Structure 1
Amino acid sequence: MKKTMLGLAIALAMGGTGGQALAGGFIEDSTARLDLRNFYFNHDIRDTDSPTQDEWGQGFLLNLQSGFTEGAVGVGLDATYTLGVKLDASGARSIFPADTDGEAVDDFSRGGLTGKMRFSKTEARYGILVPKLPILTANDGRMLPQLFEGGMITSNEIDNLTLTAGQIEHVVGRMSSNFTGMAVSGGTEQSNQFRFAGGDYKGIKDLTLQYYFANLEDYYDQNFLGALHSLPLGPGVLKTDLRYFRTTSDGQNANGTAGYRAATNGSGNDGEIDNSTWSAKFTYGLKGHSVSLGYQQVSDNSMFVQLNQGSLPNEGAGGTSTYVITDSLVQNFTYAGERTVLGQYAYDFAEAGIPGLTASLTYLKGDQIKTAIGSDRKEWERDIVLGYVVQSGALKGVGVAWRNGMLRSDVLGDIDHNRLTISYSLPLW
């Protein structure tokens, strides 16, 4: 009935019987889902008098996806709407925008439409995007996700090769209702052009090879090379994850123009982007157990950068993800000169007869950090993640997760960090 009503609405919008024919294909594969996320956040800077960030809210994420109309070229339309409601908040803001009086707003929302077109094995989208690419990964670490606006084309016309290209024009932060332009950490001027292209090749058994290029106009050019490999070894599987980034200045950043300088802490501290970062991570999985060891090295001239709007004035656009193996709960270990070792143990309790329960413990230690006031700064972080998804009964599908992070840093200070999430996904049809 719901699909029929939606089909009639689309037919009316398209006008007459021709619209009804289009709507039939449009509706056939449509889906609608409401994600509920109850989110508690506590961020305590232990070695200063800064007030503890203590916030609790309820998030609603509505996702409507149409199918494609029939014919050689199919078209469709998706809709995304998110709403965050304050339950309690004190201290600085991390999940809610600030009102004019500095207090957290009672609620905030954002969203939009995405038009899409499919031809053969190629799909084009324009509108709201949630990319998951090595050079751009939307952040979903708070009550509401980060959303991007722009166009993207994905093609699988060549066997074993996925090609992706696009342009991003605006972004809305995870604690904001306002779409803005883009920048890097430290940049106060907005750029409205982030272009990217690349591909994933899977023509060799158990091996994925990746190359991507990205340009944030007036900030940086970035090249990425990656390799993912899975090797049966004894009774388990060894997974290898290799990543290399080369990032250089572009336009106004290269010219040293005020407002386009990055928050770099490398040689000269002038804000020009000039960075190489490489990493290697090895994970051995056996039944429910997995053990990971990793190493990452950041070059001396400047810190690693990807899109980060946190320095834009009065926008509440902070919060970002970076595609590095050290992107953790509190810190991402990407200062200039930083060398980081990583160890992780994870266990899936399904092997012990408790399906739905998972746990992980991660430890990272970075040193040789270069700052404006000295070198060889150090930091370490320990993260614990526990999660459980109810497997049956009236609460089937309800997920509970606790994330605890402890950071001790010569740069950021001493921070204790907790997140508690209760989530549920409700199919509407």
Structure 2
Amino acid sequence: MRVMKWSMIALAVSAGTTQFAMASSQDDSKGFIEDSTLTSKTRMLYMNRDFKNGAGNIAKPGGGFKSGYSEDWGLSELLNYSSGFTQGTIGVGVDAFAMGTLRLDGGAGRQGNGLFASKSDGSPEDTQSKAGGAIKFRLSDTVLKYGNQFVASPVFSTDDSRLLPEVATGTLITSHEIKGLELSAGRFTAISSQTGMYHDSLHLPAANIAGATYQFTDNFVGGLAASDVDDYFKKQYINLNYTFPIDDSQVLNFDFNGYRTSSQGKELARNVDNKIWSLAAAYSIGAHKFTLAHQRSTGDSYYYYGVDGDGTIFLANSVQYSDFNGKDERSWQARYDLNMATYGVPGLSFMARYITGDNISTDTGEGKEHEFNFESKYVMQEGPAKDLSFRLRSAVYRNNGNYNVASDNTDNNDVRIIVEYPLNIL
């Protein structure tokens, strides 16, 4: 991995030094202040999980759980500042963020949805806050960033599924020197969870990552990525995405994603040996989109992620509650999307999907699981509240007893209400 990492950096730098005569992002720089942006994102999230069969999230000292459901309600604010780059051959800039949460409801007997950290007495924190930043350098169309940052690599991705996003600490270089080609490489030494306000709450030893994405044609994109997480595992990823326009109102899309993961060093994730892939085919016609997807896992273990970010699972059947990534699991998905703009209500959309998985290898026999999701979302289209969104997400998840024993998944009904307001301040 180290050889690949530095080879990609060398390629990016080499490409940058041979194209100074051509127009680049750095040539177009207006300055540190002139190109600055400041954005805010306010999010309110209500989340309820109604666990079945006597399950729950908060264990009692004598055994069992305090309640059969968990319920949290909170508010978060995320401020993001991104400076421009100073003018010259090498531009210098900074990125900074400040974020915090406020608990609106949810006590010690009901928490457990990952919205708030716990105090020493087991009750959820009333407020939490965190701030950080990074310094960045730009040469031509290549950017080197060091510090606290949000990452969206398929082999190292910071999750943003609750009130606040995870934050990684490290170095990332991203190059767009060649038209249609993005190269990236980096090393990260810490990552904080969505409720962990300190530096490295996920206990990441170190992760080296590299990736490349190339736009072969207007309709075909391919990507490769790899990571090396010290004493955990090595991971490789591939993506192929092809869009076939039939006519002005009909489109076919095929999306393939695959991972290979193998443990190394101290094997802190135990013996990880897994290959997993998914293929999704989507047909869009007017306001309607129909999707079928198949996902398959093989090897001596399930697909492992988490220490490399809770968003590091770019697979079709990773949905609201389950990832359908069990050992030897095979799963199918059927999905329907409806965009109401065609019917005179722009900003309103609906989604429904059903996923079923079987053939999961456990010590007690074949595991099976299934999940139904429904989602409705409305985004304000104009006025002072433009881009304010309201979103309802619902999941009904069930599995057989064999898989319930072999995993942390328990039968439950998951309901989330999300109100979000993004605002461009500068």
Q: Above 0.5 in TM-score? A: yes
Q: How does 1:11-410 map to 2 (within 5 A)?
A: 25-50=31-56, 51=67, 52-90=69-107, 91-93=110-112, 94-180=114-200, 182=202, 190-234=203-247, 235-253=249-267, 260=268, 262=269, 271-308=270-307, 320-374=311-365, 376-410=366-400
Residue in 2 that maps onto 1:416: 413
**SS of the residue aligned with 1:280?**
strand
Deviation, structure 1 residue 68 = 0.5
Q: Structure 2 CA distance, aligned partners of 1:49 and 1:304?
A: 24
Deviation by residue 1:78-117 (Cα, 9 ceiling, x = unmatched)? 1111100111113133200001110011101112011111
Deviation, structure 1 residue 392 = 2.4
Q: Structure 2 CA distance, aligned partners of 1:136 and 1:344?
A: 27
The amino acid that maps onto 2:292 is L
- Conserved in 1, the CA contact under 8 Å of 2:354 and 2:373? yes
Q: Would the alpha carbon gap of residues 24 and 353 (structure 1) be closer, same or farther in structure 2, given more than 3 Å must change?
A: closer
Q: Structure 2 CA distance, aligned partners of 1:214 and 1:29?
A: 33
**SS of the residue aligned with 2:266?**
helix
- Conserved in 2, the CA contact under 8 Å of 1:389 and 1:397? yes
In structure 2, stretches of 5+ residues that fail to align are 1-28, 57-66
TM-score scaled by length of structure 1: 0.84
Q: Structure 1 CA distance, aligned partners of 2:171 and 2:310?
A: 22
Deviation by residue 1:225-262 (Cα, 9 ceiling, x = unmatched)? 21011111254111110122111111111xxxxxx1x3
Q: Structure 2 CA distance, aligned partners of 1:24 and 1:53?
A: 50
Deviation, structure 1 residue 181 = 6.2
Q: Structure 2 CA distance, aligned partners of 1:426 and 1:232?
A: 34
Deviation, structure 1 residue 320 = 4.4
Q: Structure 1 CA distance, aligned partners of 2:369 and 2:96?
A: 42
**SS of the residue aligned with 1:204?**
coil
Q: Structure 2 CA distance, aligned partners of 1:330 and 1:308?
A: 19
Residue in 2 that maps onto 1:6: none
- Conserved in 2, the CA contact under 8 Å of 1:300 and 1:370? no
- Conserved in 2, the CA contact under 8 Å of 1:288 and 1:350? yes
The amino acid that maps onto 2:293 is G
The amino acid that maps onto 1:209 is G
Q: Structure 2 CA distance, aligned partners of 1:337 and 1:65?
A: 44
Deviation by residue 1:144-202 (Cα, 9 ceiling, x = unmatched)? 111111110011112221101001111111122122265xxxxxxx4421111110011
Deviation, structure 1 residue 373 = 2.5
Q: Structure 1 CA distance, aligned partners of 2:111 and 2:419?
A: 23
CA RMSD after TM alignment: 1.7
- Conserved in 2, the CA contact under 8 Å of 1:191 and 1:218? no
The farther-off stretch of 336-345 and 89-98 is 89-98
Deviation, structure 1 residue 49 = 4.5
**SS of the residue aligned with 2:104?**
strand
Structure 1 stretches of 4+ moved >6 Å: none
Deviation, structure 1 residue 138 = 1.8
- Conserved in 1, the CA contact under 8 Å of 2:373 and 2:393? yes
Q: Structure 2 CA distance, aligned partners of 1:281 and 1:24?
A: 42
- Conserved in 2, the CA contact under 8 Å of 1:288 and 1:351? yes
Q: Would the alpha carbon gap of residues 216 and 369 (structure 1) be closer, same or farther in structure 2, given more than 3 Å must change?
A: same
Number of aligned residues: 376
Q: Structure 1 CA distance, aligned partners of 2:73 and 2:312?
A: 22
Deviation by residue 1:209-228 (Cα, 9 ceiling, x = unmatched)? 11111111111111112101
The amino acid that maps onto 1:167 is R
**SS of the residue aligned with 2:31?**
helix
Q: Structure 2 CA distance, aligned partners of 1:191 and 1:83?
A: 23
TM-score scaled by length of structure 2: 0.85
Deviation by residue 1:299-320 (Cα, 9 ceiling, x = unmatched)? 04100022348xxxxxxxx954
Residue in 2 that maps onto 1:267: none
Q: Structure 1 CA distance, aligned partners of 2:167 and 2:126?
A: 21
Deviation, structure 1 residue 41 = 0.9
Q: Structure 2 CA distance, aligned partners of 1:34 and 1:160?
A: 31
- Conserved in 2, the CA contact under 8 Å of 1:229 and 1:239? yes
- Conserved in 2, the CA contact under 8 Å of 1:108 and 1:176? no
